Amino acid sequence: MIGSLGGVTDAQASAKPFYLSTPIYYVNDVPHIGHAYTTVAGDVLTRWHRQRGEAAWFLTGTDEHGEKVLRSAQANGVSPQEWADRLVEESWRPVWKSLDIANDDFIRTTEPRHIQRVQTFISRLHDLGDVYEGSYEGPYCVDCEEFKVPGELLDGEGEFAGALLCPIHHRPVEMLAEQNYFFRMSAFADRLLAHYEAHPEFVQPESARNEVLSFVRQGLQDLSISRSTFDWGIPIPWDSKHVLYVWVDALLNYITALGYGSDDPAEVATFEAVWPADVHLVGKDILRFHAVIWPAMLLAAGLPLPRTVFAHGWLLVGGEKMSKSKLTGIAPSQITDHFGSDAFRYYFLRAIQFGQDGSFSWEDMGARYTSELANGLGNLAARVTAMTERYFGGVLPAATDAGPAEQVVADVADRIVTAADAAVLALDFSTGLATIWELVGALNGYLSEQQPWKVAKAIDDDPAARARVATILYTAAEGLRVLAVVLNPVTPRAAANLWVALGAQPALGALAGQPLTEAGRWGQLPPGVTVTKGESLFPRLDDAEPA
């Protein structure tokens, strides 16, 4: 599968690509905007690294085994494989396409490549003595696919009176009593604690790190890693009456997709070149799986640990995690059909501090769309390109009269590129976008002060007025060039349209090839290029909410 690691130069070819993963999503149901939030954040971050000129590898996929998927297939009267195939092809792949997700690979846990490599991994742990046979008795939440600790459960009320409830799903847990295989996870607690200590960046943000530290400091129990009461899973290679616990199966996707355990040496070489992951992006609901179980599994197998597990917050509805099981899921298409994919990508990363919970509201989405995208950026681009067409026949003039006001704009451009870069690399997307919008604001303020439409009244008679209008329009267009480059990872459609409208290609080459770190260097857009008004980047919309 590995083909294009981007337009890598020779110097970068030897560097390890930036490797980012999303969780692989359960195919028990269709995607909602909570899932899309994670994948969009991952896409923006990998595109950002690519725009910096780095090689990057972005993985997403689907988690298809386990009881949760099995039960939804049964409820719909089809086999689990048919159910998974249908959801992947009709819902999951299309939703990523509609959001312009540029993943390099898409792994499904029912693919032979995954199944074979998972069996290789688990046999290795068995051979090393870290897997043993035992019996499990205790509560299990099928919605979480998780063995629960009795102390964390809630007492049911109303229709669930007398039952113990999962604290996340507020639905009764099931009591299991099974002969299972166990992973000797307890043996890794000290090594995990030492790793957290030595690598403060391993679990982020700080709140997530604290949660993991206090959990592991209490000591770890061994983990049941097989189930024997149903067969929708990967058979345990040495005992096919058992299937592997779905979370162990799923976590391994991050290495099986790269080629770990493959028979093909070229794929193993890819694994060695790309692993470890730089960022595993996850929602905070699945933090412990990624920051405790997963590194313990890797330690047992003698593999390097990922650099960072970053847990973002939840999209809330009525104060609770948006979820399909609670019927609060909003389909991404409800938003993209009305506002477009760029607006979706922009809005969630701008409006919610990454790492914290946030509530979605149509009012806020509509308000930000109008003020920041349509009136802020879209109107700016429309005014600058239209005036260049009107006063200079669409030929970008030179800034022959640049003075202090122009220097201020150039300085803002330079500063925001560096500051936005630092923020986004630290996964602080909202600060990154707010910083970029300082340039949008500076350019709009500059135009309001300079009033080129007024100066232009004397353009035919007064060479000084002509030079002034030329300078203003060049300055604004050059500012828009900077915006096109830094926004390409975030709003790729609008950035591409802007690049065309500015006539930047062919003069400067493809937008994807503009190094982000140099975007703030002033004066790159050459005078003489053809500027066209083109279509509106973010058309004004009448209603905030779809009819």
Please report, as ranges, the residues that interact with ligand MSP according to CB under 6 A. 23-26, 34-35, 37-38, 63, 250-251, 253, 282-283, 285-286, 314-315, 321-323
In the set 49, 68, 114, 144, the catalytic residue is 144
Q: In terms of residues, how long is the chain?
A: 547
The Cα–Cα gap between 151 and 164 comes to 10
Taking the complex as a whole, the smallest distance from the CB of residue 397 to ligand MSP amounts, in Å, to 48
Burial 197-224 (b: 16+ CB within 10 A, else e): eeeeebbbbeebbebbeeebeeebebbb
Residue 114 is a catalytic residue: no
Taking the complex as a whole, the smallest distance from the CB of residue 375 to ligand MSP amounts, in Å, to 29
In the set 32, 280, 290, 338, the catalytic residue is 32
Residue for token pair 């500015």: 502
Residue 148 is a catalytic residue: no
In the set 166, 242, 280, 338, the catalytic residue is 166
Residue for token pair 């391994």: 252
The Cα–Cα gap between 286 and 42 comes to 16
Residue 166 is a catalytic residue: yes
Here the tokens at position 134 are 């035992």
Residue 144 is a catalytic residue: yes
Taking the complex as a whole, the smallest distance from the CB of residue 354 to ligand MSP amounts, in Å, to 11
The Cα–Cα gap between 295 and 304 comes to 9
Taking the complex as a whole, the smallest distance from the CB of residue 284 to ligand MSP amounts, in Å, to 7
Taking the complex as a whole, the smallest distance from the CB of residue 315 to ligand MSP amounts, in Å, to 4
In the set 16, 169, 170, 533, the catalytic residue is 169
CA 459 to each of CA 81, 248, 455: distance values in angstroms, whole numbers, following the listed order: 70, 71, 7
Output 281 or 399, the one with its CB closest to ligand MSP.
281
The Cα–Cα gap between 36 and 441 comes to 29
Residue 280 is a catalytic residue: no
Q: What single letter denotes the amino acid at residue 213?
A: L
Output 257 or 477, the one with its CB closest to ligand MSP.
257
Output 90 or 239, the one with its CB closest to ligand MSP.
90
DSSP reduced 3-state for 311: strand
Output 35 or 108, the one with its CB closest to ligand MSP.
35
Output 118 or 502, the one with its CB closest to ligand MSP.
118
Output 63 or 67, the one with its CB closest to ligand MSP.
63
In the set 68, 114, 141, 148, the catalytic residue is 141
Residue 35 is a catalytic residue: yes
Here the tokens at position 141 are 């939440």
The Cα–Cα gap between 345 and 370 comes to 15
Closest residue to ligand MSP in the complex (CB): 34
Residue 169 is a catalytic residue: yes
Query: What letter would DSSP give residue 127?
Result: H
Contact indicator for 485, 508 with CB cutoff of 8 Å: no
The Cα–Cα gap between 312 and 200 comes to 17
Taking the complex as a whole, the smallest distance from the CB of residue 462 to ligand MSP amounts, in Å, to 58
Which residue numbers are catalytic?
A: 32, 35, 141, 144, 166, 169, 321, 324
